[in-house]
Structure 1
């Protein structure tokens, strides 16, 4: 049996700030947006460039702040030019960590945090 990962769902509080993060800082594109005002939530699907995986953003109109569980760590994306993306993220309003490598090795990743506190690991494309 063949299984394929198709989406990851993130619950978000500020949909416009979150869309700005994923579509302007990164190159995600809005695939669809479905609004359910009677049920007080919206679903926005973002395409991840070069893959069939989507991020589903769930915006609940009256939600209290979400707690990101201690079992969740991060999402990961790869980029062609790690140093350039690091500079773009550092120049943004988003919390951006330093370039790192494991055990003091050559840097090949860093983390940036989205408006809802989800950490994104940005790695050099291998």
Structure 2
């Protein structure tokens, strides 16, 4: 199994506000939309996306306007060219985005803003990938060894980088041989032994697989959580969970399908 990260899903309270924010400030375009019974899902991303690039999925459920951003969910990170961090952040400030953590406060290495629902968005300097494309998704874990083991044993991911300090460590995971432009999952482990709350504003990560049925069976052999199997989802997708309860979708895409959604 060597599936790349296909998308990251966030729940939003006001879909129109969120779409306007991402389309105005990050120049995202709507890739596809699904109107369900009581919910709407929209895929977003830069106009020019790498074939292994990940999308942002915004999900809005009717009558759900009080979402909690738990601390188990960290942030998504988007890319800007190496020499455009300060100017890109200033552009967002000029457009009315709230000043959260500017480049100077982050040592000139990165910056942070928040979307209308309080989801944190890190801005990182990269010399690859389209501007504002998704670079990584950060989740917090309570046991680094278990978390790394989950992604290496269950999904055959490998270290794409790490950063360790006196109080915490970040581990970046992605499939072996994945393009630089592919999104990574950042596992953040704090040494103080704290625990976390997931919150309902954080949705899931999605891994695109080649064979949904076969890869699901392989995950079960590797003792992954049987959360929502393919059969219970009409063999369109499936969900497992990691050791901290973060949901991970498995999705097999048909390149000839008219829609990005399997519904």
Corresponding residue for residue 142 of structure 2: 13
Q: Deviations over 1:20-76 (max 9, x none)?
A: 111221132201122112xx1001111253552111111001142111011112111
Corresponding residue for residue 23 of structure 1: 152
Q: Please, what TM-score do these two structures have when normalized by structure 1?
A: 0.85
**Among candidates 169, 179, 200, match of residue 42 of structure 1:** 169
Q: Secondary structure at the match of 1:95?
A: coil
Cα distance in 2 for partners of 1:22, 1:72 equals: 19
Q: Please, what TM-score do these two structures have when normalized by structure 2?
A: 0.43
Q: Secondary structure at the match of 1:74?
A: strand
Instruction: Give the drift of 1:101.
Output: 6.9
Corresponding residue for residue 183 of structure 2: 53
Cα distance in 2 for partners of 1:118, 1:93 equals: 16
**Among candidates 93, 114, 119, match of residue 242 of structure 2:** 114
Cα distance in 1 for partners of 2:253, 2:156 equals: 15
Cα distance in 2 for partners of 1:41, 1:111 equals: 29
Aligned residues: 121
> Which runs of no fewer than 5 residues in structure 2 stay unpaired?
1-26, 28-130, 255-263
Corresponding residue for residue 65 of structure 1: 195
Larger deviation: 2-11 or 89-98? 89-98
Cα distance in 2 for partners of 1:101, 1:109 equals: 9
Corresponding residue for residue 39 of structure 2: none
Q: Secondary structure at the match of 1:34?
A: strand
RMSD of aligned Cα (Å): 1.9
> Which runs of no fewer than 5 residues in structure 1 stay unpaired?
none
Kindly report structure 1 stretches of 4+ aligned residues shifted beyond 6 Å: none
- Structure having the higher Rg: 2
Cα distance in 1 for partners of 2:232, 2:252 equals: 11
